Amino acid sequence: MESSINFPLLNNVHNEVDNMEQKVIKGGWISAIYIIGESTVTAAKNINVWSGVATLLPLLGAFIADSYLGRFNTILISSLIYIMVGPRNVNALGIGGSIKISTSDQFDEDKPEEKKAKSSFFNWWYFGICGGSTAGMLIVFYVQDNVSWMVGFGIPALAMAFALVLFLFGWRSYLQEVPKGSPLVPVVQVFVAACRKRHLCVSKDGYEVCTEDGIGLASKGWTLARTHQFKCLDKAAIIDEMDALSETRNNWRPCSVSQVEEVKLLIRLVPIWLSCLTFAVIQAQGGTFFTKQGSSMDRLIGHNFRVPAASLQVIAGLVIIFTVPIYDRILVPVARNWTGHESGITMLQRIGAGMFFSILTMVVAALVEARRVKIATKYGLIDQPQITVPMSVWWLVPQYVLSGIQDVFAIVGLQEFFYDQMPDTMRSIGSATYLSVLGVGSLI
């Protein structure tokens, strides 16, 4: 007896074979919940896990760049891999995060005008990133859907090849940081030395401290002033009898004051990193919950065109493209005249403003979701997620707009903050640390 059950996926496959000449390519990661048959919760979990891992692995690439290859060589290798293999593999290898750091290294922080320009650079860097991704969604996705996947993948490959050629034209003029070995070794040395000398005390025993410059500051001749936080680490700089009798300095016994202070800098970043995880959790909703909201709503424009739910993320990208110039050219000068700060507001204030807008984003999203559920209940659709709720998808525009504004403040602020606060030898790791906030937020 023939089954009366209808299998839409199998029927679509037969239709695809019968109408191959009229085939329209669809898909994308968001279609996985329909093709694989995953529930919304499972699909969102899988997307967040993939995104989390992809944004955590740059820590490995940053370590390689700072320790062994150098940033220029890392950029060159990652670009070649991008062209030959694909951007997802670059993310998996974690070596695609050194470009921003190498570019920002071209500014001389000792010159006030260049220091101001560096702050502006982070705004325009994110502007370029969002401009490229938005163009990709509008152009490349269209080509993939209406021409072919081969052409769709070929466009970014050719664009990357052209960008690589331009990048190599100026390689002689770039300021390049020479890798000085693992940046984590000096950190471990401080903890080991402090543990060995945990019973000593500078003030009581009259010991001297090592005042040689830390490795991360020696290249620029800077020294860090001694602070009174985490005094247990100060013991690492004590010169005891064994150190005084030694003809050569053992880096695992007396560490310099500046080296100790660099470790303290890293410890002070931990509370900031932890406090930003909530923002990262909210930021991750744009690619999962917001998209699922849109997929269940009325997305029809006119009589024939249906807006892809995932394409609504273009709204946030367009808001960022529009907001960054306003922030950099209007808000920053006005705030600078008021506060006297070269960036208008401090990096932490900027991050805080982004977190405030993220709260507004979720409040608006909750109100829209409450209305969607109310309408679904009214029409008896609460247990039928496959049926479209008679509510326009344009109700989602406000939360996507607020999502774009929150990124202009928080994402750029996090990039600049972790770059600025990291020791020179760990700048690439600093950039990857900001990405790790987003990665852990996705996993949470």
Terminal CA-CA length for the chain: 49
With 0-12 / 13-18 / 19 or more C-beta atoms within 10 angstroms meaning exposed / middle / buried, residue 227 is middle
Beta-sheet pairing, 300-301 with 305-306: antiparallel
CA atoms of 316 and 358, how far apart (whole Å): 13
Cα gap 437→56, rounded to integer Å: 8
Residue stretches of the chain with pLDDT short of 70: 1-41, 85-112, 114-116, 145, 202-224, 243-248, 425
Q: What is the pTM of this model?
A: 0.76
DSSP state of 306: E
List, in order, residues 6 or more apart from 370 with CB less than 8 Å away.
Answer: none
115-174, pLDDT tens digit by residue? 667 777 888 888 888 888 888 777 877 787 678 888 888 888 888 888 888 888 877 777
Q: Write down the pLDDT at residue 4.
A: 36
pLDDT, tens digit (0-9, with 9 covering 90-100), for 229-284: 888 888 888 887 776 666 667 777 788 888 888 889 889 999 999 999 999 999 88
Helix (H, G, I), strand (E, B) or coil at 209: strand
**237 in Cβ contact with 256 (< 8 Å):** yes
Query: Concatenated DSSP letters for 90-146?
Result: HHHHT---SHHHHHHTTS-TTSHHHHHHHHHHHHHHHHHHHHHHHHIIIIIHHHHHH
Would you state the pLDDT for residue 104? 59
> What's residue 22's pLDDT?
37
- How high is the pLDDT of residue 142? 75
- CB < 8 Å & 24+ apart, contacts of 265-268: 265/224, 265/421, 265/422, 265/423, 266/187, 266/422, 266/423, 266/426, 267/230, 268/229, 268/421
3-state secondary structure of 13: helix
Classify 301 as helix, strand or coil: strand
What's residue 212's pLDDT?
Answer: 61
With a CB cutoff of 8 Å and minimum separation 6, the contacts of 314 are 134, 137, 138
- Residue 291: what pLDDT? 83
pLDDT score recorded for residue 439: 86
Q: Which helix (H) or strand (E) holds 418?
A: helix 397-421
Which residues on adjacent β-strands are paired with residue 238? Answer: 209
Cα 407 from Cα 315, distance rounded (Å): 13
Q: Is the dihedral of CA 334, 340, 344, 348 positive or negative?
A: negative
Q: Which domains does the chain have, with CATH numbers?
A: 29-180+261-443 (1.20.1250.20), 183-255 (no CATH)
